[in-house]
Copies of this chain bind each other. A is one copy, B any other.
Amino acid sequence: MFLKNCWYVAAWDHELIDGKLLARTLLEEAVLLYKGDSGQVVALQDRCCHRGVPLHLGRREGDCVRCMYHGLKFDASGKCIQIPGQEVVPPKLGVRSYPVVEKDHLVWIWMGDPALADPAQIIDFPYLRDPQWKGVPDYMHYDANWLLIVDNLSDFAHLAFVHTKTLGGSEEYAYVTKPVAIERLPRGFRVERWHMDAAPPPFHRKVLPAAEKDRHVDRRNIGHMHIPGIFFLESMFSPAGSGSEKGNREGTREYRNCQFMTPETRRTTHFFWTYLNNYEGDDHNVSRSLHQSLIEGFLEDKHLIEAQEKVLDADPGFKMLAVAADAALSHFRWTFDKLVAAERADEAARQGAEPKSIPIRAPHQAGLGA
Protein backbone atom coordinates (compact mmCIF):
# COMPACT_ATOMS: atom_id res chain seq x y z
CA MET A 1 0.00 0.00 0.00
CA PHE A 2 2.95 2.32 0.52
CA LEU A 3 5.57 3.22 -2.04
CA LYS A 4 8.86 2.46 -0.34
CA ASN A 5 11.51 3.46 -2.83
CA CYS A 6 11.12 7.21 -2.81
CA TRP A 7 12.01 10.13 -0.60
CA TYR A 8 9.60 11.28 2.09
CA VAL A 9 9.75 14.31 4.32
CA ALA A 10 10.36 13.02 7.85
CA ALA A 11 10.69 16.32 9.72
CA TRP A 12 11.48 20.00 9.57
CA ASP A 13 15.06 20.60 10.68
CA HIS A 14 13.89 22.76 13.60
CA GLU A 15 12.30 19.64 15.12
CA LEU A 16 15.78 18.24 15.77
CA ILE A 17 17.48 21.13 17.51
CA ASP A 18 19.27 20.66 20.81
CA GLY A 19 19.92 16.98 20.25
CA LYS A 20 16.27 15.99 20.54
CA LEU A 21 15.46 12.28 20.10
CA LEU A 22 12.39 12.51 17.86
CA ALA A 23 10.18 9.43 17.67
CA ARG A 24 8.10 9.38 14.51
CA THR A 25 6.16 6.62 12.83
CA LEU A 26 6.60 6.67 9.06
CA LEU A 27 4.87 4.22 6.71
CA GLU A 28 3.93 2.24 9.83
CA GLU A 29 7.56 1.86 10.91
CA ALA A 30 8.76 3.34 14.20
CA VAL A 31 11.72 5.60 13.43
CA LEU A 32 14.05 7.53 15.71
CA LEU A 33 15.45 10.76 14.27
CA TYR A 34 18.19 12.93 15.73
CA LYS A 35 21.04 15.20 14.77
CA GLY A 36 24.39 13.99 16.09
CA ASP A 37 27.12 16.20 17.49
CA SER A 38 28.82 16.07 14.09
CA GLY A 39 25.77 17.67 12.51
CA GLN A 40 24.77 14.48 10.75
CA VAL A 41 21.08 13.58 10.90
CA VAL A 42 20.53 9.96 11.91
CA ALA A 43 17.44 7.80 11.35
CA LEU A 44 17.29 4.44 13.12
CA GLN A 45 14.66 1.84 13.78
CA ASP A 46 13.15 2.94 17.10
CA ARG A 47 13.49 -0.43 18.83
CA CYS A 48 16.43 -1.86 20.70
CA CYS A 49 17.40 -5.23 19.24
CA HIS A 50 17.84 -6.62 22.75
CA ARG A 51 14.45 -6.41 24.50
CA GLY A 52 12.50 -4.12 22.19
CA VAL A 53 12.48 -0.96 24.28
CA PRO A 54 12.14 2.18 22.10
CA LEU A 55 15.45 3.92 21.57
CA HIS A 56 13.86 7.36 21.82
CA LEU A 57 13.67 6.68 25.57
CA GLY A 58 17.44 6.36 25.50
CA ARG A 59 20.28 8.87 25.55
CA ARG A 60 22.14 10.47 22.66
CA GLU A 61 25.94 10.24 22.94
CA GLY A 62 27.67 12.15 20.13
CA ASP A 63 26.31 10.66 16.91
CA CYS A 64 25.30 7.49 18.79
CA VAL A 65 22.34 6.54 20.92
CA ARG A 66 22.31 4.37 24.02
CA CYS A 67 19.29 2.31 25.09
CA MET A 68 18.68 3.25 28.71
CA TYR A 69 17.26 -0.09 29.75
CA HIS A 70 20.40 -2.23 29.74
CA GLY A 71 22.85 0.18 28.15
CA LEU A 72 23.38 -1.12 24.61
CA LYS A 73 24.93 1.56 22.42
CA PHE A 74 24.32 2.01 18.68
CA ASP A 75 26.25 4.15 16.21
CA ALA A 76 24.80 6.27 13.41
CA SER A 77 24.71 3.26 11.08
CA GLY A 78 22.66 1.29 13.61
CA LYS A 79 25.54 -1.01 14.52
CA CYS A 80 25.67 -2.07 18.17
CA ILE A 81 29.06 -0.99 19.54
CA GLN A 82 28.75 -1.68 23.26
CA ILE A 83 26.92 -4.14 25.52
CA PRO A 84 27.56 -3.54 29.23
CA GLY A 85 28.52 -6.76 30.98
CA GLN A 86 30.14 -8.44 27.99
CA GLU A 87 33.34 -7.77 26.12
CA VAL A 88 32.45 -9.01 22.66
CA VAL A 89 29.69 -7.49 20.55
CA PRO A 90 28.58 -9.77 17.72
CA PRO A 91 29.56 -7.92 14.54
CA LYS A 92 26.15 -8.11 12.85
CA LEU A 93 24.23 -6.93 15.88
CA GLY A 94 22.31 -3.70 15.48
CA VAL A 95 19.19 -1.95 14.34
CA ARG A 96 18.10 -0.84 10.90
CA SER A 97 19.22 2.57 9.72
CA TYR A 98 17.55 4.63 7.01
CA PRO A 99 19.16 6.88 4.39
CA VAL A 100 18.42 10.44 5.38
CA VAL A 101 19.22 13.82 3.83
CA GLU A 102 18.87 17.27 5.33
CA LYS A 103 18.19 19.87 2.67
CA ASP A 104 16.63 23.33 2.72
CA HIS A 105 15.29 22.91 6.26
CA LEU A 106 13.66 19.57 5.49
CA VAL A 107 14.80 16.14 6.61
CA TRP A 108 14.15 13.58 3.87
CA ILE A 109 14.10 9.83 4.50
CA TRP A 110 14.21 6.77 2.23
CA MET A 111 12.10 3.93 3.62
CA GLY A 112 12.88 1.37 0.90
CA ASP A 113 16.00 -0.41 -0.32
CA PRO A 114 18.99 1.72 0.75
CA ALA A 115 20.89 0.68 -2.37
CA LEU A 116 18.39 2.62 -4.46
CA ALA A 117 18.47 5.81 -2.41
CA ASP A 118 19.77 8.57 -4.66
CA PRO A 119 19.73 12.06 -3.08
CA ALA A 120 19.61 13.56 -6.58
CA GLN A 121 16.02 12.32 -6.75
CA ILE A 122 14.91 14.67 -3.99
CA ILE A 123 12.60 17.22 -5.51
CA ASP A 124 14.00 20.71 -5.42
CA PHE A 125 11.93 23.66 -4.18
CA PRO A 126 14.49 26.47 -4.24
CA TYR A 127 12.23 29.00 -2.50
CA LEU A 128 12.85 27.17 0.77
CA ARG A 129 16.48 28.30 0.76
CA ASP A 130 15.98 31.73 -0.79
CA PRO A 131 15.98 34.41 1.97
CA GLN A 132 13.72 36.64 -0.13
CA TRP A 133 10.87 34.17 0.34
CA LYS A 134 9.49 34.29 3.86
CA GLY A 135 7.04 32.19 5.81
CA VAL A 136 6.45 29.99 8.83
CA PRO A 137 7.22 26.27 8.49
CA ASP A 138 4.56 24.21 10.21
CA TYR A 139 3.14 20.75 10.83
CA MET A 140 -0.33 19.30 11.18
CA HIS A 141 -1.37 15.76 12.07
CA TYR A 142 -4.21 14.19 10.10
CA ASP A 143 -6.39 11.26 11.09
CA ALA A 144 -6.75 10.30 7.45
CA ASN A 145 -4.91 8.45 4.71
CA TRP A 146 -2.45 10.75 2.95
CA LEU A 147 -4.01 10.12 -0.48
CA LEU A 148 -7.24 11.75 0.69
CA ILE A 149 -5.22 14.92 1.30
CA VAL A 150 -3.56 14.55 -2.09
CA ASP A 151 -7.05 14.24 -3.61
CA ASN A 152 -8.11 17.38 -1.85
CA LEU A 153 -5.19 19.36 -3.23
CA SER A 154 -5.73 17.95 -6.70
CA ASP A 155 -8.82 19.92 -7.52
CA PHE A 156 -9.68 23.59 -7.41
CA ALA A 157 -13.39 22.68 -7.37
CA HIS A 158 -13.61 22.29 -3.60
CA LEU A 159 -12.38 25.86 -2.97
CA ALA A 160 -15.83 27.25 -3.70
CA PHE A 161 -17.59 24.98 -1.21
CA VAL A 162 -15.03 24.49 1.54
CA HIS A 163 -13.01 27.70 1.57
CA THR A 164 -15.27 30.53 0.38
CA LYS A 165 -14.60 32.62 3.46
CA THR A 166 -10.91 31.80 3.88
CA LEU A 167 -8.83 30.80 0.87
CA GLY A 168 -11.48 31.99 -1.56
CA GLY A 169 -13.38 30.44 -4.42
CA SER A 170 -16.76 31.62 -5.67
CA GLU A 171 -19.75 29.30 -5.52
CA GLU A 172 -21.51 31.08 -8.41
CA TYR A 173 -18.38 30.75 -10.51
CA ALA A 174 -18.14 27.03 -9.68
CA TYR A 175 -21.54 26.38 -11.23
CA VAL A 176 -20.70 27.95 -14.55
CA THR A 177 -17.06 27.00 -15.17
CA LYS A 178 -15.53 23.75 -16.28
CA PRO A 179 -12.53 22.13 -14.63
CA VAL A 180 -9.22 23.25 -16.15
CA ALA A 181 -7.20 20.77 -18.15
CA ILE A 182 -4.31 19.14 -16.36
CA GLU A 183 -0.92 18.24 -17.71
CA ARG A 184 -0.20 14.59 -16.99
CA LEU A 185 3.35 13.85 -15.83
CA PRO A 186 5.07 10.47 -15.30
CA ARG A 187 5.07 10.98 -11.52
CA GLY A 188 2.29 13.49 -10.97
CA PHE A 189 0.57 16.35 -12.75
CA ARG A 190 0.68 20.07 -13.37
CA VAL A 191 -2.37 22.28 -13.40
CA GLU A 192 -2.69 25.96 -14.21
CA ARG A 193 -5.72 28.14 -13.63
CA TRP A 194 -6.35 31.78 -14.36
CA HIS A 195 -9.20 33.59 -12.65
CA MET A 196 -9.47 37.08 -14.13
CA ASP A 197 -10.99 40.24 -12.71
CA ALA A 198 -12.30 39.02 -9.37
CA ALA A 199 -12.26 40.30 -5.80
CA PRO A 200 -9.12 39.21 -3.92
CA PRO A 201 -9.72 36.07 -1.81
CA PRO A 202 -10.04 36.70 1.96
CA PHE A 203 -6.57 35.47 2.97
CA HIS A 204 -4.92 37.77 0.41
CA ARG A 205 -7.24 40.71 1.06
CA LYS A 206 -6.25 40.66 4.76
CA VAL A 207 -2.60 41.46 4.04
CA LEU A 208 -3.26 44.12 1.39
CA PRO A 209 -2.90 47.82 2.14
CA ALA A 210 -6.27 49.47 2.70
CA ALA A 211 -6.19 51.20 -0.69
CA GLU A 212 -5.92 47.88 -2.54
CA LYS A 213 -8.40 45.78 -0.58
CA ASP A 214 -11.28 46.47 -2.91
CA ARG A 215 -9.48 46.39 -6.25
CA HIS A 216 -10.05 43.40 -8.47
CA VAL A 217 -7.18 41.07 -9.28
CA ASP A 218 -6.14 38.64 -11.99
CA ARG A 219 -5.16 35.43 -10.19
CA ARG A 220 -2.88 32.75 -11.56
CA ASN A 221 -2.31 29.44 -9.85
CA ILE A 222 0.14 26.79 -10.99
CA GLY A 223 0.05 23.59 -9.01
CA HIS A 224 2.42 20.64 -9.18
CA MET A 225 1.68 17.36 -7.45
CA HIS A 226 4.47 14.78 -7.21
CA ILE A 227 4.70 11.19 -6.06
CA PRO A 228 4.40 10.21 -3.21
CA GLY A 229 2.48 13.28 -1.98
CA ILE A 230 4.34 16.53 -2.56
CA PHE A 231 2.50 19.63 -3.59
CA PHE A 232 3.85 22.94 -4.80
CA LEU A 233 1.66 25.91 -5.65
CA GLU A 234 2.80 29.14 -7.26
CA SER A 235 0.28 31.97 -6.97
CA MET A 236 0.34 35.44 -8.50
CA PHE A 237 -2.10 38.26 -7.85
CA SER A 238 -1.87 41.08 -10.37
CA PRO A 239 -4.02 44.18 -10.74
CA ALA A 240 -7.01 43.26 -12.91
CA GLY A 241 -6.37 44.12 -16.53
CA SER A 242 -2.69 44.85 -16.01
CA GLY A 243 -1.70 42.23 -18.59
CA SER A 244 -0.15 39.67 -16.29
CA GLU A 245 -1.28 36.96 -18.70
CA LYS A 246 1.09 38.56 -21.24
CA GLY A 247 3.99 38.70 -18.82
CA ASN A 248 3.61 42.09 -17.12
CA ARG A 249 4.52 41.68 -13.45
CA GLU A 250 4.09 45.25 -12.24
CA GLY A 251 2.13 45.43 -8.99
CA THR A 252 2.10 41.64 -8.73
CA ARG A 253 2.26 39.88 -5.37
CA GLU A 254 3.40 36.27 -5.37
CA TYR A 255 3.20 33.25 -3.10
CA ARG A 256 4.94 29.89 -3.02
CA ASN A 257 3.19 27.16 -1.12
CA CYS A 258 4.60 23.71 -0.42
CA GLN A 259 2.90 20.80 1.29
CA PHE A 260 4.38 17.41 2.03
CA MET A 261 2.11 14.49 2.89
CA THR A 262 3.96 11.62 4.54
CA PRO A 263 2.00 8.54 5.64
CA GLU A 264 2.29 7.86 9.34
CA THR A 265 0.02 4.83 9.01
CA ARG A 266 -2.51 3.87 6.39
CA ARG A 267 -5.02 5.97 8.35
CA THR A 268 -2.93 8.89 9.58
CA THR A 269 -0.64 11.43 7.96
CA HIS A 270 2.15 13.84 8.76
CA PHE A 271 1.42 17.09 6.95
CA PHE A 272 4.36 19.50 6.62
CA TRP A 273 3.80 22.84 4.97
CA THR A 274 4.83 26.44 4.58
CA TYR A 275 3.40 29.38 2.70
CA LEU A 276 5.96 31.84 1.41
CA ASN A 277 5.67 35.38 0.12
CA ASN A 278 8.29 37.49 -1.62
CA TYR A 279 7.12 40.98 -0.69
CA GLU A 280 6.79 41.36 3.07
CA GLY A 281 10.26 42.82 3.55
CA ASP A 282 10.59 43.34 7.29
CA ASP A 283 6.87 43.21 8.01
CA HIS A 284 6.61 39.75 9.58
CA ASN A 285 2.92 40.32 10.19
CA VAL A 286 2.31 39.43 6.56
CA SER A 287 3.79 35.97 7.16
CA ARG A 288 1.91 35.63 10.41
CA SER A 289 -1.41 36.59 8.86
CA LEU A 290 -0.93 34.23 5.92
CA HIS A 291 0.07 31.46 8.31
CA GLN A 292 -3.11 31.96 10.33
CA SER A 293 -5.30 32.14 7.23
CA LEU A 294 -3.84 28.93 5.86
CA ILE A 295 -4.36 27.10 9.14
CA GLU A 296 -7.97 28.24 9.09
CA GLY A 297 -8.36 26.89 5.57
CA PHE A 298 -6.54 23.64 6.32
CA LEU A 299 -8.79 23.01 9.29
CA GLU A 300 -11.81 23.30 6.99
CA ASP A 301 -10.28 20.54 4.86
CA LYS A 302 -9.19 18.46 7.83
CA HIS A 303 -12.73 18.45 9.25
CA LEU A 304 -14.14 17.01 6.01
CA ILE A 305 -11.27 14.68 5.20
CA GLU A 306 -11.17 13.08 8.64
CA ALA A 307 -14.93 12.55 8.45
CA GLN A 308 -14.38 11.00 5.01
CA GLU A 309 -11.72 8.65 6.40
CA LYS A 310 -14.19 7.39 9.02
CA VAL A 311 -16.82 6.76 6.37
CA LEU A 312 -14.34 4.83 4.22
CA ASP A 313 -13.12 2.84 7.22
CA ALA A 314 -16.69 1.86 8.05
CA ASP A 315 -17.23 0.32 4.62
CA PRO A 316 -14.07 -0.75 2.82
CA GLY A 317 -16.22 -1.93 -0.09
CA PHE A 318 -17.42 1.58 -0.95
CA LYS A 319 -16.39 2.60 -4.46
CA MET A 320 -15.88 6.29 -4.97
CA LEU A 321 -17.46 7.72 -8.08
CA ALA A 322 -15.45 9.94 -10.41
CA VAL A 323 -16.82 13.23 -11.70
CA ALA A 324 -15.33 15.54 -14.33
CA ALA A 325 -13.38 17.51 -11.74
CA ASP A 326 -11.47 14.38 -10.70
CA ALA A 327 -9.12 14.13 -13.69
CA ALA A 328 -6.09 15.19 -11.70
CA LEU A 329 -6.57 12.91 -8.74
CA SER A 330 -7.54 10.01 -10.99
CA HIS A 331 -4.31 10.40 -12.92
CA PHE A 332 -2.28 10.68 -9.72
CA ARG A 333 -3.79 7.56 -8.18
CA TRP A 334 -3.37 5.62 -11.40
CA THR A 335 0.30 6.67 -11.57
CA PHE A 336 0.82 5.88 -7.92
CA ASP A 337 -0.79 2.44 -8.18
CA LYS A 338 1.42 1.58 -11.14
CA LEU A 339 4.55 2.51 -9.19
CA VAL A 340 3.49 0.47 -6.19
CA ALA A 341 2.71 -2.50 -8.41
CA ALA A 342 6.12 -2.23 -10.09
CA GLU A 343 7.82 -2.03 -6.70
CA ARG A 344 5.99 -5.12 -5.48
CA ALA A 345 6.92 -6.98 -8.66
CA ASP A 346 10.56 -6.02 -8.16
CA GLU A 347 10.44 -7.23 -4.59
CA ALA A 348 8.84 -10.50 -5.56
CA ALA A 349 11.41 -11.03 -8.30
CA ARG A 350 14.25 -10.31 -5.89
CA GLN A 351 12.87 -12.69 -3.33
CA GLY A 352 12.31 -15.39 -5.97
CA ALA A 353 15.79 -15.14 -7.50
CA GLU A 354 18.73 -12.96 -6.57
CA PRO A 355 18.47 -10.11 -9.12
CA LYS A 356 21.26 -9.80 -11.65
CA SER A 357 21.04 -6.06 -11.91
CA ILE A 358 19.49 -3.16 -10.11
CA PRO A 359 16.34 -2.27 -12.03
CA ILE A 360 16.68 0.85 -14.10
CA ARG A 361 14.66 3.75 -12.74
CA ALA A 362 13.16 6.48 -14.85
CA PRO A 363 14.83 9.86 -14.28
CA HIS A 364 13.08 11.65 -11.48
CA GLN A 365 10.62 14.42 -12.16
CA ALA A 366 12.44 17.74 -11.99
CA GLY A 367 11.47 20.31 -9.37
CA LEU A 368 10.08 23.77 -9.81
CA GLY A 369 13.39 25.62 -9.49
CA ALA A 370 14.23 28.54 -11.76
Q: How far is the CA of A93 from the CA of B303 in the complex (A)?
A: 25
Given known A70-B155, A70-B158, contact A85–B320 (CB-CB < 8 A)? no
- Work out how many copies of this chain go into the complex: 3
Inter-subunit contact A175/B84 (CB<8 Å): yes
Given known A30-B311, A51-B320, contact A85–B178 (CB-CB < 8 A)? yes
A198 within 8 Å of B by Cβ?
Answer: no
Q: Which residues does chain B contribute within 8 Å of A323, judged by CB atoms? A: 50, 70, 72, 83, 85-86
Q: Which of B54, B151, B160, B315 contacts A307 (CB 8 A)?
A: B54
Interface SS of chain A = loop
What is the distance, in angstroms, from A122's C-beta to the closest C-beta of chain B? 29
Interface size class of A (residues with CB under 8 A): 35 or more
Q: Which residues does chain B contribute within 8 Å of A175, judged by CB atoms? A: 71, 82, 84
Inter-subunit contact A85/B174 (CB<8 Å): yes
Q: Which of B52, B83, B321 contacts A311 (CB 8 A)?
A: B52
Inter-subunit contact A303/B57 (CB<8 Å): yes
Inter-subunit contact B51/A162 (CB<8 Å): no
Q: Which residues does chain B contribute within 8 Å of A194, judged by CB atoms? A: none
Inter-subunit contact A53/B308 (CB<8 Å): yes
A69 within 8 Å of B by Cβ?
Answer: yes
Inter-subunit contact B69/A321 (CB<8 Å): no
Given known A174-B84, A179-B85, A323-B86, contact A70–B157 (CB-CB < 8 A)? yes
Which single residue of chain B is at the shortest CB-CB distance from A309? B52
Q: How far is the CA of A260 from the CA of B81 in the complex (A)?
A: 36
Q: Which residues does chain B contribute within 8 Å of A311, judged by CB atoms? A: 30, 47, 52-54
Q: Which residues does chain B contribute within 8 Å of A318, judged by CB atoms? A: 47, 52
- B-contacting residues of A (Cβ < 8 Å)? 30, 47, 49-54, 57, 66-72, 82-86, 93, 151, 155, 157-158, 160-162, 171, 174-175, 177-179, 303-304, 307-308, 311-312, 314-315, 318, 320-321, 323-325
9 further A-B contacts with Cβ under 8 Å, apart from A85-B179, A86-B324, are A50-B320, A50-B323, A51-B308, A53-B308, A54-B307, A57-B304, A69-B161, A69-B162, A86-B323
